[in-house]
Amino acid sequence: MKQEHPAAVALFVMLFLGSPGAGSAGILPALAPQAGCLRSCQLLLAHDGHTKYSIVLPNSASPTEQFAVEELANYLRKLTGAVFPISPQRAETGKPCIYISSTEVPGLSEPLTGEAYAVVVDGEDVYLNGGRGRAVLYAVYDCLERLGLTWFAPDFDFYSGAAESIPNRPSLLLEVKESGPIVRRPRLDLRKLDVGEAISHTERNLRQLLAWMPKAGFNTLMVPMDYQGRGRAGWDKWREQLTPELQKRDLILEVGGHGYQNFLNARMEGGRLFKEHNEWFGQGADGLCNPAAGQVFCTSNEEAVRFVSNGVIEYLRARKEIQVFDFWPPDVGKWCECRRCLEQGSPAERHARLTNHLHSRMAAACPNVRLECLAYSETLNPPSTPLNPGILLDFCPINQNFEYAIFDERGANNREYAVTLAEWRRRFGGDIGIYTYYRKYAWKSLPVVIPGYIKRDLQWYLTKRVKAISIFAEPGDWFTFELHHYILGRLSWDPELDLDALLKKYCQIRFGAAAGVAWSILAVLEQEVPRFGSLPFTTQKTAEEIAKPYGKLADLERKLAEMTPRLQEPYRSHCNRLLLMCGYALRDLKIQESRAAGLSLQQIRALVLELSDFLNAHAQAGTFMVYFGLEEPRLFRKYGLAEESQLGGSRVLISFIPAHGYLSKEKVAELGRAALFEISIGRGRLWVCGLDLERSVEVDPAARRFALHLVRAAHRESIPGGSSHSESER
C-alpha cells in the first residue's frame, strides 16, 4: 500500500535545494557525503524515479545473500520506481554502489560473526554485511526501514495488501543518524514464533509468516510434530513446501511440541505394541498400564526408552532440516506410577534423566540437532539430576498472572515462577528460553494488549541470562496481537527500545488521522483489560471498580467509531479492526461487571450469548479466532456458566472435551452419562446432551438442520477418527 509521508518529503526538499548539484541533469547530487561517516549522513539513493546506484554482490554469494539482494532491489523499486541494477563488481568508476557481503568493509575493526550485521556508509557507498546469511537479510531490512518501509505484520490475506507500509518516494534519501559504522547484535539467540495449536494455519499463511520473520528480527519457526497426535497439524504436512522457504532465509526450524507419545503409544502397530510390550506403557496407581495418549510411558523401562530414543533419532535423520527438536512429555501428562519409576523421583527428575539419555545418543547420531526439554507443569522445578549443559531448557510460566509483572510477587503464581526460574539459573549452566504466553489461547482473542508489560518482563528475564523467547503466532487473530509479535521481535534485539516512539509511529502508520484516539485506546487496553477483564488469575473486582474502565473505553470507542467512516483506506480497515477489539473488551468488562453485581445467571447467559454471536459474526477479520466454530461452550466455561446446576434447570447442550484433558477424569464420566449424540473431533469428542438428536431429526426439520450444521461444523476438514466414547471411560 502506497502512502505518502509529508514530513519526510519536506525534509528532502529542504536538503535538496541546499545542494549545489540541484537541478543539473545527469549526475545526481549526493548530499553531505563524509568519508567514514563520522557524523550523520544523508545519501540520495534515487532522484525522480531514477538512480545512479547499483547493487554489488560477489559471485561467491550464498543463496540467502542472493535472496537478500533480490529483496533489496525489489523494495527499492517499489519505493522509488527506479531499477537498481545488480552486478558482481562496481560497474563504472565514479558511480556509487550498495555493496552486499563485501569482503572489505571500511571502518569495521573486526569481522562480523553469527547474527551480527553492519550498515556502513562510506562516502557515497553503502555496505550491508552480516556474519551469516540471515544476518545479511537483517542488514537489508534494517536499511529499508531507515528508508521508510515498515513491516508491522505478515502479509496475511485479511490485510488486503496493507500489512506492510511502503511510502512512495521517487526521490529517496538514506539518512544515518548514528556516527560511525552501525553494528547490531541480537540480545537473544533464539527468537521464535510458535505455530502452537495451529488452529488457523495454512500452507499459504505460513509462507507469509516466514517471509515476515526476518523483517521483524525473528529467526526460529516452531512447528508441532503432530499436535496432540490428531494428524491435523504437524511438520510433515508442510515440510515439502516450507523447507525451501526456511532455507532461503537461513531460518532455524524447531519441531516437536508435546510428543513422547508420538514415538510410543497404544495405537501404534494396530495395538500390537500395547499387547506385546504392555510393561512399556505407564501404569496407574492400580498397577494397570494405561493406553491413554496423556499417559507418560514407563521411563524406567530400558527397552521402552531405547524404543523411543531410536524413534526420535530415526525421525530426525529422515528430516535433516530440523535444527532444534523438542522432547516434551504429553501436555499435563500422567506419569507412570510403577515402583521403579517412583524410585527415580519426581516427573522433573525422570524428564531430566530421559532427556540426558537422548542427548547423549544424539551427540553421535545427529550432532547438528539441538535438543530442548521443558520446565512446565509437573516438570517445572529444577531436578537434582543435573541436565546436560548442551540441552536447551524452555521455561513455561503458563499460569502467569498478567495483572502484575512476572517478577511482582503480588501476582498469584508469579512469585513461584520467578523463584523457580532463578533456581534453574543457579543450577543449570546451559541455555534457558522463555515460552511466553503474551498471546494466550485461554484469552480467546480478548484484546490483552500489553507492550509495556512485555518490555518490563523481558528486561527482567535478561537479568536471568535468558537466551531464547517464543510467542504463539496464530494468523486467525493476528491483528489483536499484532503489536506483541512486532515488539517482541524488536525487543529481543534491543530491550531498551523506545516503546513510546515506536507506538507513536505504529499509530500514525496504522490509523492515520485517528492515531491519537487509537493511542489512547491502546493505553486503556494495556492498563485496564489485564486488571478488570476475564483473564485467568486476574482477581475479581467490584462492579463499581469495573464500571470506570468500561466508561473510559466506551467513550474512546464512540470517538473512534465517529472518525472511522471518514478515513481513507487502509486506515479505515485498521480502525474497524481496532473497533472490533474495543467491542470485545467492552462486552467482556460488562459481563465481569454483571457477575460482580450479582446479576442472575440467565442475565449473564444472555450477555455471553450476545458476545458469542459478535465473535462469530467477525470471525474472518483477523481479529478473533473462533475455535472450530465451537466457541460458545468455551465462553460458558470461561464466564462460570458451564455447570448445569447453575443454569437453573437448563442443560449443557454441547460440550467440547479437549483431547488433552484439562477436564478432570471424574468430570468427563459425569458429562458422558448425559451424552445422547457424539461426534469425534480428533481425539476429542463433541457430546450433545439432553437432546436425542438422531430421534429428533426424524420428526423435526429444525433439528435436522441443527444436526446437519453441527456435523458439518465438526467435519469441515479431514480429521482422522479418534478414540470412541467407551474407550475414554476405561
The residues of the shown chain that bind Zn ion, judged by CB under 5 A, are 298, 300, 336, 338, 341
Q: Which residues pair with 128 in a beta bridge?
A: 100, 119
Decide whether 300 or 356 has the Cβ nearer to Zn ion. 300
Neighbours of 702 (CB within 10 A): 9
Decide whether 341 or 679 has the Cβ nearer to Zn ion. 341
CB of 626 to Zn ion, least distance (A): 41
CB of 271 to Zn ion, least distance (A): 20
CB of 347 to Zn ion, least distance (A): 11
Decide whether 198 or 338 has the Cβ nearer to Zn ion. 338
Decide whether 341 or 642 has the Cβ nearer to Zn ion. 341
Query: How far apart (Å, rounded) are the C-alpha atoms in residues 675 and 601?
Result: 23
Beta carbons within 8 Å of 548's beta carbon, 6+ residues apart: none
Decide whether 144 or 341 has the Cβ nearer to Zn ion. 341
Nearest to 300 by CA among 263, 272, 271, 340: 340
Decide whether 135 or 298 has the Cβ nearer to Zn ion. 298
Decide whether 338 or 483 has the Cβ nearer to Zn ion. 338
CB of 312 to Zn ion, least distance (A): 19
CB of 267 to Zn ion, least distance (A): 20
Decide whether 55 or 289 has the Cβ nearer to Zn ion. 289
CB of 679 to Zn ion, least distance (A): 35
Query: How far apart (Å, rounded) are the C-alpha atoms in residues 508 and 501?
Result: 11
CB of 261 to Zn ion, least distance (A): 15
Decide whether 17 or 285 has the Cβ nearer to Zn ion. 285
Decide whether 303 or 409 has the Cβ nearer to Zn ion. 303
Phi and psi angles of residue 3, each rounded to the nearest 5 degrees, phi first = -140, 150
Q: Which residues pair with 686 in a beta bridge?
A: 656, 679
Three-state SS sequence of 667-694: HHHHHHHCEEEEEEECCEEEEEECCCHH
CB of 302 to Zn ion, least distance (A): 11
Contacts 24+ apart (CB under 8 A), 489-492: 489/191, 489/213, 489/216, 489/217, 489/218, 490/216, 490/217, 491/454, 491/455, 491/458, 492/186, 492/187, 492/188, 492/191, 492/217, 492/218, 492/458
Phi and psi angles of residue 498, each rounded to the nearest 5 degrees, phi first = -80, 95
Decide whether 265 or 436 has the Cβ nearer to Zn ion. 265
CB of 376 to Zn ion, least distance (A): 21
CB of 339 to Zn ion, least distance (A): 8
Beta carbons within 8 Å of 622's beta carbon, 6+ residues apart: 156, 158, 159, 475, 476, 477, 478, 479, 577
Burial class (CB in 10 A: 0-12, 13-18, 19+), 602: exposed
CB of 337 to Zn ion, least distance (A): 7
Query: How far apart (Å, rounded) are the C-alpha atoms in residues 35 and 567?
Result: 45
Beta carbons within 8 Å of 90's beta carbon, 6+ residues apart: 54, 56, 97
Three-state SS sequence of 521-537: HHHHHHHHHHHHCCCCC
Burial class (CB in 10 A: 0-12, 13-18, 19+), 259: buried
